[in-house]
Structure 1
């Protein structure tokens, strides 16, 4: 089963950029949750915690495509060290601001700066795979491998954040994420052999071609809905575990969700996929929404375990299809940016879901937050099926 993955990692330089990319994107599974835990511990309000976390993820969503455009134009080795340094300073500033009890606007602003400067590592690693493999069939296996890596992070990150927060200090999880992200990003930037060529003035390449919004829009719009579903789901799980007097288990439940997603990604990467990416994405949006249906009516943590695991099984196939759709319609000199737009749509939805569900939970209890997830999933289904199929453009051309 794992032979296709072993073959991928034997490609020259692949293991190095894959491992360093794994370390560099550890913050994606820790920072948002860490902010919720830190701020809620200091203020006893999930609404305020959701606001600070939303500032981080909204500015991350806004900044990622612009950041990716710079990386495509000037190269990863030139831009990533500066971006990672700014992110580390801003994220450290959030921790200090919360600990010394500054006015709420200070951590909100710093969280926004940290989000805007958060390196879009997943986009850059996937761009390296695309540069290395072209449109060979192994590219879908590579995307599945990266989905496995993402879910491994979400399996490990949430329990680490919650256990560090409850066992050491509410800020410990964020500080660990900061260190891992900075080191991993600097190492990735130093790996020049597998870096995609720069296409802008900094790399001497041709002018950037149009991105192809007509093909991307259905996936990007639906990704906002799916992200909203995720954001509401995460904060609802945390609140439900807290209501049950078992806050530390919120991370475990989120890790179980990630485990289901990781298993489905690992299996998917060994299969020959016959349906086109957009069709698979549409089916995935339906599956994720269906998985949300029982959650508003379950309050026992033990009963929640199999439900969140089954929910996880639907996640990776949908996300892999999303990236594959972007890769097949976006010109190769804007691939990082194209993937970043898709990721930003997801992240902006997460911010919206966390903020809305936080307010709903404050007023009506933890289970009510899952209704936000269910509503967002229904919207994502409609958006995913709203656009028609589009022919695939040749690599390097304008789609």
Structure 2
């Protein structure tokens, strides 16, 4: 009898292609609006930094305001995911996009009116808290759509991570281009408009939404954080977030110091482009190593890449170093999302995904704040010390507690909705994708 695949003892599965994945009935109806709706995620923090620096002249203040938005998103996002699991995605998305548009509009007005700094913090908080958790929601839709084809799930996660990285290529370039050619406020205004349009279009696709999991009367609430493995992955994604946050502020400051402020979005886009390229290639490999081993290897490469950023002499060299650093991002994220899906039950999947996304946002807040303060004190190069420190701590946690990343057989059956017809529910989710 063939051995059952597990996260730590993978059986190399048949290849599952991106084209085959996108032939899933209804896939395009939520993939396209999801792309539009999550594009602003890569624009919000950088848009806040550009606007607040233009009106206040301090990277420390700009980074702190962006950090408030990111912290609010990190703290509220998982609660939004929990509500989506319980009441449905549309019921959560509609009020979220409305609050987000109003909050961003207020932030723009206050910044341009040179209102007290505390008012910027007060409006940045609801702006961040109301960011629609599209990335987590679309992954939850893939889980629901592929319940009878678990081998396709890792392909879906690879596709979504590549899409995430593509938005991080386009988003910063778009925000910078609009802010520098039109007005600093225009970048944030575009972010709000895209959030509303994409969010409403995504919410309208009710037919592909996962089933609601209302709490039974007198029953215990399913919590994603009850899994130690989820907590560990969230901590490691916090380290990835510090890389994102510190890079945004540090690259902006470095480009300004070099007299090429308009190139900051391009350099950050190269960083995200490296991650996108790695995500595509990652999905083309028939991995024989377990997901846990791949997670440790990609995270170690991330730390190595971050360690070179501070020494770059000019923007060209920085772009090359950022490209190399970015190559480790997507493999880390893809593997993390693959692992976390095996650790939680159906009623907590959206929440689990939002904890990871929220951890990235919290790390982004920490990274942008610390980097901004270091830049104000010691110049733009000092900001690049933050990514290597944050990622290094994440690697230490992963190596030390790696045993927590193994789901129990019982949990695997719960995730797969049980049944002998769902053979290979765990590691086939780690199956590679191909460009067939």
TM-score range with shorter-chain normalisation?
A: over 0.9
> What is the match of residue 177 of structure 2?
163
Find the partner of 2:70 among 57, 76, 91. Answer: 57
Contact 2:16 2:152 in 1 (8 A): no
State the match for 2:278 in structure 1: 264
Query: What is the CA-CA distance between 1:194 and the residue it aligns to?
Result: 0.9
**Counterparts of residues 116-131 of structure 1 (less than 5 Å):** 116-131=129-144
Alignment partners' CA distance in 2, 1:358 and 1:331? 39
Task: Answer whether contact 2:342 2:407 (CA < 8 A) is retained.
Answer: no
Residue in 1 that maps onto 2:208: 194
In 1, Cα distance between equivalents of 2:344 and 2:213: 14
Aligned to 2:407: 391
- What do you get for the CA RMSD once the two structures are aligned? 1.9
> Equivalences for 1:120-159 in 2 at 5 Å?
120-134=133-147, 136-159=150-173
Whole-angstrom distance in 2 between the partners of 1:194 and 1:396: 21
How many residue pairs end up in the alignment? Answer: 396
CA positional deviation for 1:207:
5.8
- 2:28 is the counterpart of 1:15: yes
The question of 1:109 aligning with 2:127 is answered no
CA distance in structure 2 between the aligned counterparts of 1:275 and 1:121, rounded to whole angstroms: 30
What are the superposed Cα offsets for residues 96-135 of structure 1, whole Å, 9 maximum, x if unpaired?
1111111111111111011111111100000000111136
**Residue in 2 aligned with 1:343?**
357
Out of 65-74 and 85-94, give the one that drifted further: 85-94
Alpha-carbon distance in 1 for matches of 2:104, 2:95: 14
Q: Structure 1 residue 196: deviation in Å?
A: 0.3
The answer on 1:288 being equivalent to 2:288 is no
Matched, 1:372 2:378: no
Q: Which residue number corresponds to residue 329 of structure 1?
A: 343
Please say which of residues 37-46 and 186-195 is displaced more in the overlay.
186-195
Unmatched tracts of structure 2, length 5 or more? 1-14, 418-425, 427-436
- Give the superposition deviation at 1:3: 8.4
Deviations 1:128-165 (A, max 9, x none): 00111136221111111111111111111111111111
Whole-angstrom distance in 2 between the partners of 1:350 and 1:190 = 30
Please say which structure displays the higher CA radius of gyration.
2
Structure 1 residue corresponding to 2:105, chosen from 92, 102, 107? 92
Alpha-carbon spacing, 1:113–1:357, altered in 2? closer, same or farther (3 Å): same
Q: Secondary structure at 1:396's aligned position in 2? A: helix
Return the TM-score normalized by structure 2.
0.87
Structure 1 counterpart of 2:43:
30
User: Offset of 1:287 from its aligned partner?
Assistant: 0.7
Q: Distance in 2 between matches of 1:128 and 1:33?
A: 29
Q: After alignment, is 79-88 or 131-140 more displaced?
A: 131-140
Q: Is the 8 A contact 1:199 1:208 kept in 2?
A: no
Equivalent in the alignment of 1:362: 376
- Contact (CA 8 Å) 1:199, 1:207: kept in 2 or not? no
**1:278 deviation in Å?**
2.6
Q: Does 1:219 align with 2:233?
A: yes
Aligned to 1:314: 328
Deviations, residues 25-59 of structure 1 (Å, cap 9, x unaligned): 11111010000000001111000001110110000
Shift of 1:210: 4.1
TM-score, structure 1 normalization: 0.95
Q: Is the 8 A contact 1:200 1:207 kept in 2?
A: no
- Structure 1 residue runs of 5 or longer lacking an equivalent are none
For 1:274 and 1:184, the matched residues in 2 are separated by 38
The answer to whether the Cα contact below 8 Å between 1:70 and 1:79 also exists between their aligned partners in 2 is yes
SS of the aligned residue for 2:116 comes to coil
Contact 2:291 2:339 in 1 (8 A): yes
Can you list the C-alpha shifts for 1:262-315, whole angstroms capped at 9, x where unaligned? 111112223333333332222221111100122111131111222111111111
CA distance in 2, matches of 1:87, 1:278: 37
2:32 corresponds to 1:4: no
**1:71 match:** 84
1:75–1:207 distance in 2 versus 1, CA, 3 Å: farther
Q: Give 1:395 deviation, angstroms.
A: 4.6
Q: Which has the higher contact order (CA 8 A, sep 6+)?
A: 2
